[in-house]
Amino acid sequence: MKRGVLIVFFLLIPLCHADWYLTSEQADIDLQISGSFDIQQESSASSLQHVLVNLTWLPLDSSRQKVKSLSTSPEAQLSDESVVYKWESPSYRSHNFALNSRVTLTSDFQKINKKVRFPIASVPQEYLAYTRPSETIDSDHEGIVRLANSLAEGEDDLAVVVHKIAVWTNQNIDYNLSTLTASVSKPASWVFENRRGVCDELTNLFIAMLRSLGIPAKFISGVAYTESELFPERWGPHGWAEVYYPGVGWVSYDVTYGEMGYIDMGHIKLNEMVDAQSSTVKYSWLGRNVNVKTSQIDIDAQLVEFDGIHDEGVRVDLEVEKNEVGFDSFNAVRATVKNDNEYYISQGLYLSQTQGVEIHGPLSQFVLLGPSEQKHVHWIVSIGELDPGYRYTFPVSVRTLSNKTTRTEFYSRSSEVQFSKEDIELLLSAYENSAKKNYKGKLDVECLAEKREFYLSEKNSVQCSLQNDGNVFFESLQVCLKEECKEIALEISKTKEVFFDLEEQEEGKKEEIVSVKGEGASAISTVEYVALDEPSITIINITHPEQVEFENSFVSSFTLKKESFSNPVDVEVSLVQNGQRKTWTIDAMSEDRVFSIDMNAKNLIAGKNAYSIDVTYYDQRGKAYTTSEQFEIELVNLSIGQQVLAFLNRLASLLNFGNN
């Protein structure tokens, strides 16, 4: 039997890596960031006091990155966040500035040692800005929100959610330099709709999906190493992300490079931002009739030395499902991946391309492994019709991101069994990773009346706040108050407001139930309020003697009856007789009030004395109401002396009336 051997071709990903920063423990890099500007005189009357350059691109100390030395030319003012260069009365010519530093990078990264719950229950106040939409990270875009929800639904492990979103971005967005010519980075929504972009734009979309789920994520600006033929220089500007894990800290993700949960030593962090559109250098000057023309910032980085060997602690075993298959048959390549670490780690696996073998699905796959976890990854492949006079050998290999390669092979000849794709999929089902989703629909609702108390003539409203604290996207929720229902969609980690108009026909204390129902979810909230009628007081049960003599003392009484449900407030009750007024006040009248007044006939005038009970009161809006009742008491059987005294009482009442 003749034998045939087919050639293996390795996939070259857009940004491939040299071994030193994937396999070393430590490296020293000399970094220079430089720029220039040209001062142009626009008229003979021009003047210029100073020029300022504020550079916010400078290497930052972190757990994996230490700045060993840093100098500037010319001398500049240094802070933790910027370098400020200043030229006093500069001449009209070109001026240069530079920042030189040596940075030590290590293979260290922020390790996730245990499961972090999703959704995140609480975000620290100082990180809330990293959960909100921004100029190019428009995380409120409907398509982005729905995609993120579909990826996160049913997951309760934050590392799994972030990994799934990172992998989706890496495998579904085409790395395309056509957007590199744009003056600004495209927003996440543009990348989502066009499915292409460069590193900043892939990172924008990745961050936007995370933020839409309430996961804090920041944009990291820096420089990175690449050996891709797409770029003339090995070092260049690059963007990646950091994601916040409660109890752990900020974890790096470079979705462009396929580094999920870590970054290699070819990354130098220079700035961290809420939005990728933040400027890295700002120019300002004080003068007149001058123009400052700026140039692009230049980056130059050189590897000084590297040391140590970094072992990622992941083992990969490779085998084929069938050692030998017939022509025009399917087969599978299966990798068993074992994490020997006590922390989560993501591993990228890249299948070689072999002549005559068609790969069904992506060549690269990413697997997230928990502490000491083992998983299986597979690729379905097929071969076509071949020369029946040969037995063919098909070598296959899988390499990791750090270029560790595992190899195996399978054979084919015409007399062997043909396997369909369905046959291979059935065989692979035995190796399905056992991770199961934990769907948790948790819906919180709180409803409040805008006004705790309101009058029947007024309009009120009810505001309901709905919070999705689970990991299920509620596509359709019915929110109902009385006979009115409203439909909303509620995404994971999102809060939405629903409003209802509220009117009442009858006064009294009210307690209404707002119900929320949807597939897999239900909740209720009780709304308490008081519907008020207009306040009303009547004066009843007026009792008094019809006639009295001068020496008599007597009692008159009346009742203020509260006719309304609502309480009259600021009640003023006055008893007026012969120009004399006696007043009582009540702050709020919640029940009937009886008034009993001791009187003396010596204060009366001869004949009939007119009395008036006057009541003024208000509602809670300040609207005034009045009511009054009158009665008479006759002073009789007066002696001559008593008549004189009664006459004096009349004169006094006339004087009081005139004064009033």
pLDDT in tens, 382-402: 999 999 889 999 999 999 888
Residues 520, 169: Cα–Cα separation, whole Å: 29
Give me the mean pLDDT over the 320-325 stretch.
94
The share of the chain scoring above pLDDT 90, in percent, equals 75
Tell me what the mean pLDDT of segment 98-112 comes to.
Answer: 94
Please say if the pLDDT value at position 292 is more than 60.
yes
- Asked if pLDDT for residue 434 goes beyond 70, the answer is no
Q: Taking all residues of the chain, what is their mean pLDDT, rounded to a whole number?
A: 90
Task: Give a three-class secondary structure readout of 239-290.
Answer: EEEEEEECCCEEEEEECCCCEECCCCCCEEEEEEECCCCCCCEEEEEEEECE
* Residue 109: closest CA among 282, 305, 343: 343
Q: State the pTM of this model.
A: 0.81
Q: What is the pLDDT of residues 619-656, one digit of tens each?
A: 999 999 999 999 999 989 988 888 888 888 888 776 66
Q: What is the pLDDT of residues 527-571, one digit of tens each?
A: 999 999 999 999 999 999 999 999 999 999 999 999 999 999 999
pLDDT of residue 143: 96
What one-letter code names the amino acid at 270?
L
Share of the chain above pLDDT 70, in %: 94
* Cβ-proximal residues to 303 (8 Å cutoff; 6+ apart), any chain: 20, 27, 28, 29
Q: Does the structure show a pLDDT above 50 at 12?
A: no
Q: What is the pLDDT of residue 45?
A: 86
Q: Please give the structure tokens belonging to residue 600.
A: 């003396």
Q: Is the pLDDT of residue 1 over 50?
A: no
The average pLDDT across 451-472 equals 93
The whole-number pLDDT of residue 433 equals 62
User: What is residue 183's predicted lDDT score, i.e. its pLDDT?
Assistant: 56
CA-based nearest residue to 307, from 102, 106, 110: 106
Backbone torsions φ then ψ of 202, nearest 5 degrees: -60, -40
Q: Evaluate if residue 613 carries a pLDDT over 60.
A: yes
